[in-house]
Amino acid sequence: MSLVHVEKENQIAVVTLNNPEKFNILSRDMLDTLENVFEELRDDSEVRVVILTGSGKAFAAGADIKLMSGLDALEAWRWAQRGQEVFKLIEESPKPVIAAVNGYALGGGMEMAMACDLRIAADTAIFGQPEVQLGLIPGFAGTQRLQRLVGHGWAMRLILTGERIDAQKAYEIGLVEEVVEKDRLLDRAKELAKEILKGGPQALAVAKEVIHRGREMNFDSACAYEAQAFGLLFATGEPQEGLKAFLEKRKPAWFPEE
């Protein structure tokens, strides 16, 4: 049985963590498999949007506790780096990645969701960073992504208390962008993916990069970077096609088939 199942249809890839008996824990094998999947999808010209979800009751219920219990300090450092590497690959994918959070997203699972571009949660989903209750801290970039998503105060509260929150609270604080009934989760994620597909492939990739890099710059530098990226897009020919299609009242060449 593969730890990760991939289904492709109409330029959308649905990536499902497939170890429900163990709540899709982020083991070494799971991280290795996710890395391979996202590297393949990055280079797959037939896929333009990715949906990441879980099977069973969990999106991912955290990193492998049994594995971590046997680590020394150097091994723990490398383990954290490994998780960060894989999640950075997800974050830096040139193709938009939607997290469809179907259930428990705890510890590393919540960190994985935060590495995605957009997050839709089932109304039954549960989020939390319980690491301090195990004498740990989030190690897969959770301390950094969480405060960028929800602000300093809520990041402090969730990390220092290990509190679990439901999908509605996650929506209220800005951790997820939408909450839907569980049986509508994948359908809604696919609807959103189809909206994204209306955009030019190069424009989507560049927009992601400018947003990610720009948030680490001061405002003037970020605006300069945006203007440069705006101009360089014209070297791809994609803006010319999009603008011409608009003036001719037709769909641009990249628009998905109905």
Helix (H) or strand (E) holding 258: none
35 and 124 fall within a common domain: yes
Can you read off the two tokens belonging to residue 249?
């009242």
Contact, 89 vs 15, CB < 8 A? no
Per DSSP, the three-state class of 91 is helix
33 and 109 fall within a common domain: yes
Q: Per the domain annotation, does 256 fall within a domain?
A: no
222 and 183 fall within a common domain: no
Tell me which residue range forms the domain holding 221.
201-247
144 and 217 fall within a common domain: no
User: How far, in Å, CA of 214 to CA of 95, rounded?
Assistant: 18
Percent of the residues in the chain that have a pLDDT greater than 70, as a whole number = 99
Percent of the residues in the chain that have a pLDDT greater than 90, as a whole number = 97
User: How far, in Å, CA of 209 to CA of 202, rounded?
Assistant: 11
141 and 61 fall within a common domain: yes
Which residues are annotated as catalytic?
A: 111, 131
Q: Per the domain annotation, does 139 fall within a domain?
A: yes
Rounded mean pLDDT, 131-148: 97
Rounded mean pLDDT, 138-159: 97
pLDDT-derived band at 86 (thresholds 50, 70, 90) equals: very high
Rounded mean pLDDT, 133-159: 97
pLDDT-derived band at 256 (thresholds 50, 70, 90) equals: confident
Rounded mean pLDDT, 7-35: 97
- CATH number at 172 reads 3.90.226.10
Q: Per the domain annotation, does 257 fall within a domain?
A: no
Q: Per the domain annotation, does 253 fall within a domain?
A: no
Q: Per the domain annotation, does 144 fall within a domain?
A: yes
Q: Per the domain annotation, does 77 fall within a domain?
A: yes
Q: Per the domain annotation, does 255 fall within a domain?
A: no
Number of domains in the chain: 2
133 and 49 fall within a common domain: yes
Q: Per the domain annotation, does 112 fall within a domain?
A: yes
Per DSSP, the three-state class of 130 is coil
Write down the pLDDT at residue 70: 95
188 and 62 fall within a common domain: yes
User: How far, in Å, CA of 84 to CA of 152, rounded?
Assistant: 21
Among candidate residues 55, 56, 17, 58, the one with its CA nearest the CA of residue 37: 17
45 and 102 fall within a common domain: yes
Write down the pLDDT at residue 258: 53
CA distances from 177 to 53, 117, 123, 170 (A): 15, 10, 12, 9
Domain end call among 153, 173, 196: 196
Rounded mean pLDDT, 155-173: 98
183 and 211 fall within a common domain: no
237 contacts: CB under 8 Å, gap ≥ 6:
none
pLDDT digit string (tens) for 194-236? 999 999 999 999 999 999 999 999 999 999 999 999 999 999 9
171 and 209 fall within a common domain: no
Q: Residue 11 above 70 pLDDT?
A: yes
19 and 138 fall within a common domain: yes
Write down the pLDDT at residue 257: 62
229 and 129 fall within a common domain: no
- CATH number at 222 reads 1.10.12
pLDDT-derived band at 255 (thresholds 50, 70, 90) equals: confident
Among candidate residues 52, 62, 57, the one with its CA nearest the CA of residue 25: 62
Can you read off the two tokens belonging to residue 231?
């101009």
Report how far Cα 153 is from the mean position of its chain's Cα atoms.
Answer: 22
Contact, 161 vs 218, CB < 8 A? no
User: How far, in Å, CA of 54 to CA of 247, rounded?
Assistant: 42
pTM confidence score: 0.96
